[in-house]
Structure 1
């Protein structure tokens, strides 16, 4: 999906000499705490696509970045997660909290904003500091 979207929108962004691509990743390939092998491998490949597309599209004024999160409190996907799991994860983060969808969205908005104009090919992990590399 990300490759198709980039291919479909790159000509228009290049013509405008401006564009923003923000891919959505996961912290699981840095911290594989659950065995989602296919999902984790695909998201790791998405980071590679992000970085190669940044190199390809940068000369046309287009930035390509990725925002990676972990378990978010609370989404449809995490609604069945026991409170004890949220508490465990929160206790392992420097911020002592689990990231909310709104906090995650703030990072996406940063990459879409003018403030990120000199940032491309990056992966920002938004998980309260659980992954620190």
Structure 2
């Protein structure tokens, strides 16, 4: 079982939720570039998912499932494992429930309802819990597992009023740590990668350019993080290089927020 912890990315089967567009697409592409077999999960982006899968025949599957639906996630993983002929080894929880990163359009403290929080919690926390629970049997067959949750630096530096999104991602960090403690004896690592505002994804397309410029100016590196740069950090947590790391939150934002 110790050898399983050294399994290279090229021998892994990876599920990327919300893996067809934006950051998720960049993560899917990064794993495919390293030789992994990838399940590109999508909710509504069928065309984008199928186009990406078609570009990598035999190594990519486009599969629809709402991560909030446990039965749908169970079916997705079972079907993909059968098609690939190998168990799932890595889960990247990237799916985002309908959210636009436009600070001016988001409800402020006096207006936001708890329903907004519930929707984000169901997607971020509920979705991650569903995928991890559904993957445990496959992790057992593989002898190890990798879970990488996508977070944000905004709950440590809440410069915009994304109250519901920030709270859900903070809860996801708590789940990351508690799952890491619980699943460690099964050789399953659980970590989080947290970006800032990424330049640019579908979700951040509504953000005005001066905001990106201001963020870049406030970082030691003088630049806003790209989706590709964050995807590189996700690869690290899936690789054997991180085999002794679990329960951690790595912030990838050019040094804007320092732990």
Match of 1:121 in 2: 247
Q: Which runs of 5+ in 2 are unaligned?
A: 1-126
- The structure with the largest alpha-carbon Rg is 2
Q: 2:163, 2:133 → 1: CA distance? A: 27
Residue 78 (structure 1) aligns with: 204
The yes-or-no answer on 1:107 pairing with 2:257 is no
Deviation, structure 1 residue 15:
3.6
How many angstroms apart in 1 are the aligned matches of 2:189 and 2:240?
A: 11
> In the aligned structure 2, how far is the partner of 1:120 from the partner of 1:127?
20
Q: TM-score, normalised by structure 2?
A: 0.50
Q: Following the alignment from structure 1 to structure 2, what is the Cα–Cα distance between the partners of residues 17 and 53?
A: 17
Normalising by structure 1, what TM-score?
A: 0.96
1:44 equivalent among 170, 194, 214: 170
TM-superposed deviation, 1:83 = 1.8
> Residue 2 of structure 1 aligns to a residue in which SS?
helix
Partner in structure 2 of residue 87 of structure 1: 213
Name the SS of the counterpart of 2:202 in structure 1. coil
Distance in 2 (CA, whole Å) between partners of 1:37 and 1:128 is 23
User: 1:6 — aligned with what?
Assistant: 132
- The runs of 5 or more residues in structure 1 that have no matched partner are none
Matched, 1:58 2:191: no
- The answer to whether the 8 A contact 1:22-1:108 is kept is yes
Distance 1:97 1:131 in 2: 13
Point out which structure has higher relative CO (alpha carbons under 8 A, 6+ apart): 1
Q: Distance between the aligned counterparts of 2:188 and 2:203, measured in 1? A: 31
Superposition RMSD on alpha carbons, in Å?
A: 0.9
